[in-house]
Structure 1
């Protein structure tokens, strides 16, 4: 693995991480993302892969633009993001302090009364989009003093909305197929139910999950000097290494080897570096 580049060194004081939800959050929340680039941090891109989840993000300080420069429209202080079918970028004009809740799309549809398909590839003002029952939560998280309080606010909201069951120790897509009735309905009916619940086909969800697993495994292998792309591609369910490369370029925006290198050298890939 190459050493961090100058772009990454400028953000050595950034506080960025992914928090896994406590068990009481049931099957609603995939993760929390926290990011504070610190006072005086440089303007930079934020790169995101295609992903099947829905998000709510609070920009607690700073301005973020929905594009690749400050010429792009500025986003609201709180935004809803839908599933993304392609890689996306935003631009931070300077210091940014943000908190994101990553929801499983079927749970977000239940909680918000919104079809994930209607949110696809979009970042929209949360106050204009979410029902009134969410507005106190939006205010409470924006005013919270730290991330533990923000997580507690979300916990209370989930409990009040019946999303408190312990998450079963099964894969999300398997759980989704079970909820869609794969054991009693034909494949076409299951596919229709999955698409209604998530805004994407079961095939697209499997592709995203497969690539995520492969890239996490690649990052781990690279950290131990044991990365062999052809072996990893086969173990991850790809037909061969070129197949992995095509999927990575389509869903993450760059070739696999380049992506692993950029995670270590380019701050715009911060989410790839900290995702788990």
Structure 2
């Protein structure tokens, strides 16, 4: 996607090494150190996601903006909640979230596949859905030691290498036989369905869906919805790259939605915004940096 001239570089999106593609979706790094931003520009908008997350702050901090009602995204006047711990673990999120940074910040977030996290730690993603908690309350001691090691390293490349070196032998020891070769949400939903169908004796639809929800924290129907929404996002990005007008009716059809209103409802549920408002926000507002970063990646 074309980077708007008036906005900061979005950050860095690191993709995992090949051996970890079924375990780690990506690592997102963001730094506003050295830039002068006003209060409005320090808001951060994040979509709902089926992924789990683990966050570090190397400089500065963030506060959660709490929504006042279901129809409007929170803003500067909204109540704020400090992070629950030094390192924050997040389960799958069914609603968009917003944060605000009091000053310059340098942070890193690793997005983990919830089924992989279950195999690695025994955590139940369904019990952590729509929650952000102190990582010290849920992660095993060896994971917390890794968090401390990452915190103390001097640059992002070394931090990510430390994280991957920690995960790789543990993932090799517990990963399922059925591999995941791609990273889109829709492909992951198909992969989970195949794995659920071949992993236990129970093969009824209800048993498969129960198994998938245990591994992913969300029902298969919602995972498929995330897949369609992600495809629509990249359809719009491709139109932007081609410098053509985004026709939402065509985007809806290409992504598998029933019609344009269906696309609008799902996009609003996942991001808090209608498709055109989200597209304009990406072009004009600092707060939508993570969407621009995802598009660039």
TM > 0.5 = yes
SS at match of 2:16: coil
State the Cα distance separating 1:158 from its structure 2 match.
Answer: 1.5
Determine the C-alpha separation between the residues in 1 that align with 2:116 and 2:125. 10
**Residue of structure 2 in register with 1:169 after alignment:** 181
Q: Residues 94, 19 of structure 1: CA spacing in aligned structure 2 closer, same or farther, 3 A cutoff? A: same
State the Cα distance separating 1:26 from its structure 2 match.
Answer: 4.1
Moved more, 241-250 or 61-70: 61-70
Equivalent of residue 223 in structure 1, options 234, 237, 241: 241
Moved more, 237-246 or 35-44: 35-44
Gaps spanning 5+ residues in structure 1: where?
Answer: none
Determine the C-alpha separation between the residues in 1 that align with 2:258 and 2:123. 36
Contact 1:15 1:37 (8 Å CA) reproduced: no
**Residue of structure 1 in register with 2:55 after alignment:** 57
Q: How does 1:117-266 map to 2 (within 5 A)?
A: 117-163=126-172, 168-170=180-182, 171-181=187-197, 185-226=203-244, 227-266=246-285
Q: TM-score, normalised by structure 2?
A: 0.84
Determine the C-alpha separation between the residues in 1 that align with 2:3 and 2:22. 38
Q: Residues 2, 74 of structure 1: CA spacing in aligned structure 2 closer, same or farther, 3 A cutoff? A: same
Cα deviations by residue, 1:156-184 (Å, 9 ceiling, x for unpaired): 21123134779542522222112111697
**Residue of structure 2 in register with 1:30 after alignment:** 25
Question: Alignment length, in residue pairs?
Answer: 271
State the Cα distance separating 1:41 from its structure 2 match.
Answer: 3.5
Contact 1:109 1:197 (8 Å CA) reproduced: yes
Contact 1:47 1:268 (8 Å CA) reproduced: yes
Cα deviations by residue, 1:30-70 (Å, 9 ceiling, x for unpaired): 01101001224324111111110000010111021011559
Contact 2:10 2:289 (8 Å CA) reproduced: no
Determine the C-alpha separation between the residues in 2 that align with 1:35 and 1:208. 24
Query: Which ranges of 4 or more aligned residues in structure 1 deviate by more than 4 Å?
Result: 1-4, 68-71, 164-167
Determine the C-alpha separation between the residues in 2 that align with 1:122 and 1:90. 14
Contact 2:10 2:293 (8 Å CA) reproduced: no
State the Cα distance separating 1:250 from its structure 2 match.
Answer: 1.1
Moved more, 28-37 or 117-126: 117-126
**Residue of structure 2 in register with 1:102 after alignment:** 111
